[in-house]
């Protein structure tokens, strides 16, 4: 790795560390009740708004909690080198603003009425995918990233028709709404709060 790349990487890690600290100091959310007239959920995060990769505070909205959704108050979000590449457009043009972060751990604060695997107060983690069709051959064989219908949605920067911003937004934020399907990891009560990160990394 050349000196310029190393300097850029260190700067990014410093920025994201400060961003995470700011989110954690912002305090917990109130537990939201699931209602039929649910509205989009207000969120705060740190987003890249261009290919400079610089993260800035950004307020945005998550979709309302649906029947099969869980709302997670984010407590931890790991910094992955892939976040740097994606923010800078190293792997192709990116949509902005974009909140990175695909290694997420937090507490469930609301659930949809059809959710059975999670309850409010559970520790949960989110990995690199948040949706797919869950019906095709690939999805039913644990290969959701290759969804035959093209319905895979990665955790951030990916087209998402359910997102108010038009793309998925990641874990450098105070909350996230996700399906209760296989992408979410439930941790036992005795595990540490950041245990999902150790499993996902």
In tens digits, the chain (201 residues) has pLDDT values of 555 555 555 555 555 544 544 444 444 433 343 333 469 999 999 999 999 999 999 999 999 999 999 999 999 999 899 999 999 999 999 999 999 999 999 999 999 999 998 999 998 999 999 999 999 999 999 899 999 999 999 999 999 999 999 999 999 999 999 998 755 666 666 666 665 555 454
Query: Residues 145, 152: contact at Cβ < 8 Å?
Result: yes
Closest CA to 184 of 83, 102, 76, 114: 102
Provide the 10 A C-beta neighbour count for residue 143: 14
Residue matched to tokens 């207000």: 42
- Quote the pLDDT of residue 180: 86
Question: Residue 180 belongs to what domain range?
Answer: 3-200
The whole-number pLDDT of residue 46 equals: 98
Q: CA Rg, the chain, in Å? A: 16
Rounded Cα gap, residues 171 and 79, in angstroms: 10
The confidence score (pLDDT) of residue 31 equals 37
Written as six digits, the tokens of 124 are 């949960």
Q: Write the CB contacts of 170 (distance below 8 Å, at least 6 apart in sequence).
A: 45, 77, 98, 99, 100, 101, 102, 104, 155, 156, 157, 176
Number of domains, the chain: 1
CATH code, domain with 54: 3.90.180.10
Q: Which of 69, 66, 77 is nearest to 156 (CA)?
A: 77
């Amino acid at each position: 790795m050349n000196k310029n790349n190393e300097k850029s990487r260190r700067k990014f890690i410093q920025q994201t560390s400060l961003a995470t600290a700011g989110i954690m100091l912002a305090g917990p959310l109130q537990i939201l009740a699931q209602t039929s007239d649910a509205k989009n959920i207000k969120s705060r995060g740190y987003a890249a708004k261009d290919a400079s990769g610089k993260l800035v505070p950004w307020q945005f909205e998550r979709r309302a909690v649906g029947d099969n959704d869980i709302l997670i108050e984010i407590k931890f979000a790991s910094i992955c080198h892939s976040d740097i590449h994606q923010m800078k457009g190293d792997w192709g043009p990116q949509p902005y603003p974009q909140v990175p972060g695909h290694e997420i751990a937090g507490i469930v604060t609301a659930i949809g009425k059809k959710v059975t695997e999670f309850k409010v107060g559970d520790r949960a983690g989110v990995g690199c995918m948040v949706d797919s069709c869950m019906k095709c051959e690939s999805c039913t064989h644990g290969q959701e990233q290759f969804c035959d219908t093209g319905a895979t949605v990665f955790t951030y920067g990916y087209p998402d028709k359910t997102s108010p911003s038009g793309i998925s937004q990641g874990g450098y934020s105070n909350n996230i709404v996700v399906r209760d399907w296989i992408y979410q990891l439930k941790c036992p009560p005795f595990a540490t709060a950041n245990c999902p990160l150790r499993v996902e990394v």
